[in-house]
Amino acid sequence: MSAPYRLDRGVLEATFRHFRGCGCGREECQVLWLSPWSQPDIIAKVVHPKHAGHFGGFVLDDAWLNEFWLELGATEMGIRVQVHTHPGEAFHSRTDDEYPIIHTPGFLSLVIPNFGLGPIGFNDAYLTEIQPGGRWKEVPIASRLVLT
Ligand SMILES: [Zn+2]
């Protein structure tokens, strides 16, 4: 395992802003945390993908995603963490297992409870990581994400 990712409070604030503005406390939402190839351990950008959201999940827009892969290559950035909301408690659902955006071991999925309406931070959040065998496993947030 590599060093934990470092992110500043602005990344968290932008993340919660997307969740509240898009989901409005009624629909699930997802953002992606990116870091540059040159500094992979520093989360530098929050992207809000085009998606359809509903109470029980969300679906990314395929055309948007195709464009986004090209943009990532052109800007030399990579997706390190997918972050999404759940209506109530944060846990990992079957949908999350079926649709990881990245399948590489070490890829992280962070789940934020209550549509992101609670305090900005990792309170009651749930973090899971893709294992070498391809399965998700819960990991302590402090071991992978460091707020700077
Ligand atoms: Zn959204």
Q: 122 CA distance to ligand 1 centroid (A)?
A: 19
Per-residue pLDDT tens over the stretch 99-108: 678 889 999 9
Sheet harboring 126-130: ordered strands across? Answer: 45-47, 30-36, 77-85, 108-112, 126-130, 136-138
Q: 99 CA distance to ligand 1 centroid (A)?
A: 16
Q: 29 CA distance to ligand 1 centroid (A)?
A: 4
pLDDT at 96 over 80: no
The per-residue pLDDT for 26 is 82
Per-residue pLDDT tens over the stretch 35-75: 999 999 999 999 999 988 766 677 888 899 999 999 999 99
- 5-147 CATH, one of 3.40.50.2300, 3.40.50.150, 3.30.420.40, 3.40.140.10: 3.40.140.10
Tokens found for residue 47: 């992207």
As a whole number, the mean pLDDT across the chain is 89
Q: 22 CA distance to ligand 1 centroid (A)?
A: 5
Q: 100 CA distance to ligand 1 centroid (A)?
A: 16
Q: Where are the beta strands (DSSP E) in the chain?
A: 5-7, 30-36, 45-47, 51-54, 57-60, 77-85, 108-112, 126-130, 136-138, 145-147
Q: 146 CA distance to ligand 1 centroid (A)?
A: 24
